[in-house]
Amino acid sequence: MEAALKVFARRGIIGTKMSMIASEAGVSTGLLYRYFDSKDKLFTTLVQQAMDESIVGIKSIYQLPGSPLDKIKMLTTEILNEGSQLYFMLMHHARTSDEVPITAKKLIEENTMKTYIDILEPLFIEGQKEGELAADPPCELISCYLSLLSGLMTLNIQGDENYQMPKVDLLLRFIIRSSS
């Protein structure tokens, strides 16, 4: 599964062959076919796993200690870690590729950006009430926040050794309430 995630994240579903995944995993293509009878089923399984893990991960923010801003900083750090980037790129391919299996497309349609906005909105509202977050409409703040993270993950996944991921405090300045 890890090998498939790496290959699909780099190449998308169209550019991936089962033999590439088998090679990445260090197994024979025949053995891979014993577990997944098609590339589409493997891709769909990974999309389902990515959806489930992203929703559980974002919901877990409410169990973390600290203020709303502290929780958002911890979530941001987790989202930007390398493992999350692979899942993001998989989801990016699932949303944008022409040859995505129907089952995977349905999963994407069921879990839109609104799903994540709805999960985060109470936290952002709490942060506004506590005076930590900007007073803009929470849905707009969250959309900007998620769009920024998505863009950064797309840039960084290319493996440019000269690219340095911005620090979380710098990234979050736009959602923090200014003291002026």
pLDDT at residue number 60: 93
Q: For every one of its 180 residues, what pLDDT tens digit does the chain have, with 9 covering 90 and above?
A: 999 999 998 888 999 999 999 999 999 999 999 999 999 999 999 999 989 988 998 999 999 999 999 999 999 998 887 667 888 888 888 888 888 999 999 998 888 889 999 999 999 999 999 999 999 999 999 999 998 988 888 776 556 677 777 889 998 998 998 865
pLDDT at residue number 84: 77
Nearest to 174 by CA among 138, 128, 121, 133: 133
pLDDT at residue number 86: 85
pLDDT at residue number 82: 67
HSE of 39 in the Cβ direction (CA atoms, 13 Å)? 17
pLDDT at residue number 59: 94
Please report the sign of the dihedral spanned by the C-alpha atoms of residue 122, residue 127, residue 129, residue 134. Answer: negative
CA angle, corner 112, sides to 125 and 93, nearest 5? 130
Instruction: Taking each helix axis as running N to C, give the angle between helix 68-79 and helix 82-96, from 0 to 180 degrees, rounded to the nearest 10.
Output: 70
Q: What is the DSSP letter of 61?
A: G
pLDDT at residue number 111: 85
Q: Cα–Cα distance between 145 and 69 in angstroms, integer? A: 13
State which CATH number among 1.10.1740.10, 1.10.238.10, 2.40.30.10, 1.10.357.10 fits the domain covering 39-174: 1.10.357.10
pTM of the model: 0.84
How many other C-beta atoms lie within 10 A of the C-beta of residue 107? 19
- DSSP SS3 for 176: strand
Q: Which two structure tokens, joined as six digits, stand for 70?
A: 């502290």
pLDDT at residue number 83: 66
Nearest to 118 by CA among 138, 136, 91, 148: 138
HSE of 109 in the Cβ direction (CA atoms, 13 Å)? 7
